[in-house]
Structure 1
């Protein structure tokens, strides 16, 4: 398959893994849904704080480090998907980040007291 170096439109692309989603329109829709959900998950991990006041500082530090590593890995996966240069994948990633922020960003600000 030819590697594109500019944005293009169409369902015949490779996203994240060789041969995936293939040339099937249905699998392309699955790939877009996966990228969309992945972007929402990145926003969830970056906007919500689950550490309660009074938690052991060492345990909280290890937990935050683990969550940061997971969020970084998921963010890189979204970035690599966008690097397929497929317009649909790009829109799915941006839309996922926007929906994730809309659903979870407002709650994080309200509960944070900022």
Structure 2
């Protein structure tokens, strides 16, 4: 039995429309609503990476990894030099915040494809970014214990 409704299989039901002759047509627009594994998925853009295209799926995984690492870099970078004017510093902070929020939302939307590989690439990118840009592994000096509030930086920008 071929159930086109999508009910019970973790996918959204396909919408039905009527054409100019009055005939009903069912569109094949199925979207996963649960995590799944495989390279046949859509991430961020219509038709990308495409069906049966392993190379583009790998590019999508790398893209999500880099986006997630970029979020961590923007969250932990110090670009504004001490002594900069308040106006210039404020504009730079605002620009960096806008970029960080935009990239973070793009990473979140990629994860909302419910593809397991994309989810793992995002987690790996955030972890790698944190390791390189925020952990003690590459820090030359340790922050004094009296100044630290926790081992993890806050999720909100405290810039």
TM-score bracket, normalised by the shorter chain, equals: over 0.9
* Structure with larger RCO (C-alpha < 8 A, sep 6+): 1
Give every structure 1 segment of 4 or more consecutive aligned residues whose post-TM-superposition deviation is greater than 4 Å: 107-114
Q: Does 1:13 align with 2:41?
A: yes
Q: Which residue of structure 2 aligns with residue 52 of structure 1?
A: 81
Does structure 2 conserve the Cα–Cα contact (< 8 Å) formed by 1:47 and 1:108?
no
Q: Does 1:79 align with 2:112?
A: no
Q: Which residue of structure 1 aligns with residue 120 of structure 2?
A: 91
Structure with greater helix percent: 1
Alignment partner for residue 2 of structure 1, among 19, 30, 34?
A: 30
What's the TM-score, normalizing by structure 2? 0.67
Q: Which residue of structure 2 aligns with residue 63 of structure 1?
A: 92
Does structure 2 conserve the Cα–Cα contact (< 8 Å) formed by 1:49 and 1:108?
no
Larger mean Cα displacement after TM superposition, 46-55 or 4-13: 46-55
Q: How far 1:36 moved relative to its partner?
A: 0.3
Gaps of 5+ in 1: none
Q: Between Structure 1 and Structure 2, whose CA radius of gyration is higher? A: 2
Aligned residues: 114
CA RMSD of aligned residues (A): 1.8
Q: Decide whether aligned partners of structure 1 residues 20 and 53 sit closer, same or farther in structure 2, where only a CA change above 3 A counts.
A: same
Gaps of 5+ in 2: 1-28, 148-159
